[in-house]
Amino acid sequence: MKRIFISSMLLTLCLIAFGAERKSTVTVHTSEGTSVINRNIYGQFAEHLGTCIYGGLWVGEDSPIPNTNGYRNDVLTALKELHIPVLRWPGGCFADDYHWMDGIGPRDKRPAKVNSTWGGTLEDNSFGTHEFLNLCELLECEPYVSMNIGSGTVRETSEWVEYMTADNGPMAELRHKNGRTNPWKVKFIGVGNESWGCGGSMTPEYYSNEYRRYATYCKNFSGNTLYKIASGASDYDYTWTETLMKNIGNRMDALSLHYYTVLGWNGSKGKATTFTDDDYYWCLGKCLGIEPVIKKHIAIMDRYDAKNNIGLLVDEWGTWWDEEEGTTPGHLFQQNTMRDAFVAALSLNVFHKYSDRIKMCNIAQIANVLQSMILTNDDKMVLTPTYYVFKMYIPHQDATFLPSDIVCDEMQVPNERFQGGRNQEEEPTRTLPMLSATASRDAKGVLHLSLANVDLKQSQTVSVKLEETKAKSVSGTILTSKNIADHNTFKNPDTVKPEQFKGAKVNKKDASVITVTLPAKSIVTLEITTK
């Protein structure tokens, strides 16, 4: 069933007038799973931007804030609970202005520089290669290091790889001198970032040649095998993808894609905590606009790489709002509401569907910047609604994706709300389903189903049908709040947090059916054991 409405106001009026109750069905094809949801889809991103690194992750050994070798203990604990699979660093736009030798050796002797990319603040380089790679070891996650090809050199890039991964040689000796005997394991190497823009303003043809040159000198040392990632397109730039697939081809292991849920790049992006219902629905429509973008980029990749040897990495994604009033311009500090939580859930649900090609995603960013997991202020820390979505979705990591058919109500939302900018499409509206869902089976055979009722007013009764499978028991966790703009603050850190969900029941007459009552504006993850 499909009921199409022009706006959220009309939608609400219709529901009130007719007393409509939302009913949806989700059919999970439990025997059709063929692809694995790569755990790296739950990757994170830490850039030298604002207080993401300094104050967010790193405070130094002499800080009064409790820390382990300079890393905040509260943040370390919170991040470990997320089972972070991979962490991207040092940027972002900062990467192509970063010279790695400035960030090694005694910290009091490292040269400072102005971070001209983000706010013009002083970068003292106290957090460098050792600090980042040691953090990855503490978090037990893979490092993803972005090379500087915008303002750097081939030799600089080559020697950085050698410094990190070689057992012997001049760069290994320099690493020994700086306190690290054994090389690190560094698999993921980004050959530039946004090379069409802040990473060098290159044409795709020129970048293709630069990639081939730089990647040639990124060598495998001491049994460490690099996974080389080309700087891919922004949003709707399909020509960039076509050119790189044609000119680079299998010389790259993966190609990146950046897509933000943003009003536009000129003027106000809107406030993170003050918005209308129509703003909310537009945001989710824009968020889901990533799916046709992914499909079009994948279709191009398929023409050149039918066997899926080259991965697609969405290594920057998330919401982008105006900076909070009173914060430093250029530091991109924004609050994080239940609206952001829905963007996280709906985006992850999309990524799962294309897990045969999508091998990694990195939300922007891990702390204090854009759609972050964590907010800090001096010795205080809060977890965001987005953090809790990632925690609720942990069971999907490395699980087998199970295709699902969803029948639900829909509404139409405007496509774009700004003049100019790079993310324009032809269609004037987008279709926004009132229900989003994703399902997977873990290595132990347990099913997990995540559901998101995006309707702000109406609850939904969802009939979940498990094909060729009978449920034994069901339990769950729910994330919701009184208002969609609710968020956690340093004074009230628990306004939005997960709770036990008791709204799912196995049908007594037919154990292949589970009835779920989803409150309005709620996100739920169910654990389903089977007979």
CA distance 152 to 191: 11
For residue 364, count CB atoms less than 10 angstroms from its CB and return exposed for 0-12, middle for 13-18, buried for 19 or more: buried
Residues 462-498, buried b or exposed e (16+ Cβ, 10 A)? Answer: bebbbeebebeebebbbbbbeebbbbbeeeeeebbeb
Q: What is the DSSP letter of 17?
A: H
Specify the 3-state DSSP secondary structure of 44.
strand
Q: Three-state SS across 86-123? A: EEEECCCHHHHHCCHHHHCCCHHHCCCEEECCCCCEEE
Q: Three-state SS across 195-240? A: CCCCCCCCCHHHHHHHHHHHHHCCCCCCCCCCEEEEEEEECCCHHH
Host H or E run for residue 301: helix 290-304
* Contact between residue 266 and residue 348 where contact means Cβ atoms under 8 Å apart: no
* Contact between residue 284 and residue 340 where contact means Cβ atoms under 8 Å apart: no
Cα 302 off chain centre by: 24
DSSP secondary structure string for all residues of 132-200: HHHHHHHHT-EEEEEE--SSS-HHHHHHHHHHHH-SSSHHHHHHHHTT--SPP---EEEE-SSTTTTTT
Q: Which residues are catalytic?
A: 194, 316
